[in-house]
Copies of this chain bind each other. A is one copy, B any other.
Amino acid sequence: MSNNTLRLEGIYPPIPTPFDAKGHVATKALTGNLRIWNRYELRGYVVLGSNGELVLLNDQERLRVLEVARAAIPADKLMIAGTGCQSTLQTIELTKQAAEIGADAALVVSPFYYKGQMTSGVLIEHFHRVADASPIPVIIYNMPACTGIDLDATTVTAIAEHENILAIKDSGGSLAKMAEIHRLAPLSFQLLAGSASFLLPALLMGAVGGVLALANVAPHQCLAIRQHFIDGELDEARHLQEKVLPVNAAVTRGWGVPALKAAMEMLGMYGGLPRAPLLPLSEDKKEDLRCILQEAELSALG
């Protein structure tokens, strides 16, 4: 039976999948990185999200990454597995496999290839079928920058009526929409900010936490923004959020996964190369990135 009372409060890095020089999944590096992140008060991890290059992995690799990650993630931290595929059936299969491996919840991106046919009704039906079949709670993943589809509040609310739909990770960035979802969805439905660039205002509007690429390289700062907010220290929270904005921009919409991996390398973790078609960050941009990290006073993690 699904644990639909799972509480998600907290910060989650959507961890990258490390590759070795030959391009294979570097399982030891994955374990090593998790050991470092485990030192922080992170609530858990998203494995196989957009930053985990889910769409660039084959079926075997996906399961292997989940297994290795689960072994390295303590029982008191959540493992949220990215399991959204274009096909409803494949999404269900991957979700079941993830559950078997020990994932606590599944993060399911909206299908998007047949954009013209992805009406509200089609999307609701897809998520409900997945939720029906899933042994673990399902988190809706709204990621318009990658999918070209931006779920509206009405659709999200309708999806949320299913008891096995636990939350939404919204990377769209519309606070008005987050407020509308918070107003309309069941009380138990949880909101997670999908980017550190709007973590603080999202918390104010009712989000319980965030899945933040930035948390891979600045876990301390992401946790501190949330703690300041909880403690009512709004000025400190805002100051910190503003300070990390340039790093966040660099490792997300700016230069993406290649920059995230480069930044991890600079901070003493295993970064490695992204998988093609993604190309490694150029030397010029690496220099820029180094400056951005320094200005934000990020310190080594590893």
Contact = CB atoms under 8 A, between A and B. Distances in A.
Interface of A: 23, 50, 55-59, 86-90, 111, 113-118, 121-123, 125-126, 129, 145-148, 173-176, 179-180, 182-183, 195, 197-198, 200-202, 204-206, 232, 234, 238, 241-243, 245, 249, 253-258, 275-279
Nearest to A276: B88
B183 A245 contact: yes
How often does this chain occur in the complex, in copies?
4
A242 B178 CA distance: 10
A113 to B, nearest CB: 5
Contacts of A129: 276
Contacts of A180: 242, 245, 249
16 contacts: A50-B114, A55-B87, A87-B275, A114-B256, A114-B278, A115-B146, A117-B256, A117-B258, A118-B277, A122-B277, A122-B278, A173-B176, A179-B197, A182-B242, A201-B202, A201-B204
B116 A145 contact: yes
Given A201-B204, A232-B232, A256 B116 contact: yes
A146 B276 contact: no
A111 B276 CA distance: 10
Contacts of A198: 174-176, 179, 201
A245 B204 CA distance: 16
A175 B201 contact: yes
Nearest to A119: B279
A254 B276 CA distance: 32
Given A180-B245, A183-B245, A234 B55 contact: no
B88 A126 contact: no
